[in-house]
């Protein structure tokens, strides 16, 4: 049997191999991933590039949905408050049209309706995160006082709508312009309230009744606009569930591509530590003796 007189290179190679295995095992346990650099698994690394892109898109869509849910819910809540205010105005108008009120009483009712008008305009100017809910796509305050306007207010927004992407091929319209909701030519909410104020101030029961009917019609009209926001919220909720499923699927795919079984990784680490310790022990015994072979004793 031939004995290798110089086993130092072999010992060093074994030591290096055990150290690499130990480092790999430590990295997998600490990161929970089997692929840290593309060379670890080129195919998995390439697939992870697409996974990362898709995950980023889903995260952005999810953030969009969350923001839009707040916007849509705020708009719906504002319109609910408008309905409540208009209903109160109808009651005041009905009281004012019964013909039994004094001039002072009618003026007091007119002041109350004026307060309701101010409140409704304030709701029409609702903003969330610095963006006006009912200004179309405009950035200026939707309604401002204007003495030259028949209603006492002017709409400064535009008639455009906002649609936001919440999926690769899915966009949702999330607003209606104030011109459609509050100053529609067929159901002018602001105008009907303004007319009721004027009618109450005039004391004409017939005019008060007519104006009250207009406000009552506005109540139903606002209810119809709320349907839009209810539908938008339902769409957003459904998309949110879909995106949650997508997030789980992508996370599962990532784990399959580069994840490690932690129990197996822990076992591998324990074995790598044992192997490395054995390699170090062998090196400690062999290397000094081998080096002495290169030394000669002086004669």
Query: Hey, what are 37's tokens?
Result: 């650099």
State how far the Cα of 113 lies from the Cα of 92, in Å rounded to an integer.
7
Domain membership of residue 80 (yes or no) is yes
CB 192 within 8 A of CB 208: no
CB 266 within 8 A of CB 32: no
Q: Could you tell me the CA-to-CA distances from 274 to 12, 260, 271, 281 in Å, in that order?
A: 17, 21, 5, 11
Domain membership of residue 98 (yes or no) is yes
Domain membership of residue 244 (yes or no) is yes
Domain membership of residue 240 (yes or no) is yes
Q: What are the E-state strand segments in 170-293?
A: 170-173
From first CA to last CA, the distance across the chain in angstroms is 33
Tell me how many domains the chain contains: 1
This prediction's pTM? 0.73
Domain membership of residue 279 (yes or no) is no
Domain membership of residue 185 (yes or no) is yes
| Collapsed DSSP state (helix, strand, coil) of residue 46 | helix
pLDDT of 41: 78
| Residue 226 belongs to domain with CATH number | 1.20.1330.10
pLDDT tens per residue across all 299 residues of the chain? 454 555 666 666 655 665 566 566 566 656 656 566 677 778 888 888 888 899 999 999 999 999 999 999 999 999 999 999 999 999 999 999 998 989 999 999 999 999 999 999 999 999 998 899 999 999 999 999 999 999 999 999 999 999 999 999 999 999 999 999 999 989 999 999 999 999 999 999 999 999 999 999 999 999 999 999 999 999 999 999 999 999 999 988 877 776 565 566 567 566 766 766 766 666 666 655 554 455 444 54
The C-alpha angle 57, 62, 67, rounded to 5 degrees, equals 125
Domain membership of residue 4 (yes or no) is no
Domain membership of residue 264 (yes or no) is no
Q: Which domain holds residue 144?
A: 51-253
């Amino acid at each position: 049997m031939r004995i290798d007189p110089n086993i130092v290179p072999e010992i060093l190679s074994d030591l290096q191999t055990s150290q690499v295995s130990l480092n790999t095992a430590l990295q997998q346990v600490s990161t929970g991933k089997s692929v840290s650099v593309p060379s670890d698994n080129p195919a998995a690394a390439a697939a992870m590039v697409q996974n990362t892109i898709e995950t980023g898109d889903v995260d952005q869509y999810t953030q969009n949905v969350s923001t839009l849910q707040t916007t849509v819910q705020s708009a719906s809540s504002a319109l609910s408050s408008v309905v409540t205010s208009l209903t109160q105005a109808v009651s005041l108008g009905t009281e004012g049209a019964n013909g039994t009120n004094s001039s002072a009483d009618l003026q007091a009712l007119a002041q109350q309706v004026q307060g309701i008008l101010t409140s409704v305009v304030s709701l029409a100017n609702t903003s969330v995160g610095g963006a006006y809910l009912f200004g179309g796509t405009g950035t200026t305050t939707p309604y401002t006082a204007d003495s030259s306007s028949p209603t006492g207010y002017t709409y400064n927004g535009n008639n455009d709508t906002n649609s936001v992407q919440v999926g690769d091929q899915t966009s949702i319209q999330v607003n209606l312009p104030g011109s459609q909701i509050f100053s529609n030519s067929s159901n002018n909410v602001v105008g009907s309230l303004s007319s009721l104020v004027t009618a109450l101030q005039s004391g004409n029961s017939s005019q008060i009744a007519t104006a009250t009917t207009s406000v009552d019609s506005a109540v139903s009209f606002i209810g119809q606009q709320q349907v839009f926001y209810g539908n938008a919220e339902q769409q957003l909720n459904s998309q949110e569930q879909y995106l949650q499923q997508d997030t789980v699927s992508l996370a599962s795919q990532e784990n399959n591509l580069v994840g490690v079984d932690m129990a197996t990784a822990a076992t591998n680490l324990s074995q790598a530590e044992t192997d490395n310790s054995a390699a170090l022990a062998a090196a400690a015994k062999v290397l000094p003796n081998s080096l002495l072979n290169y030394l000669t004793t002086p004669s």
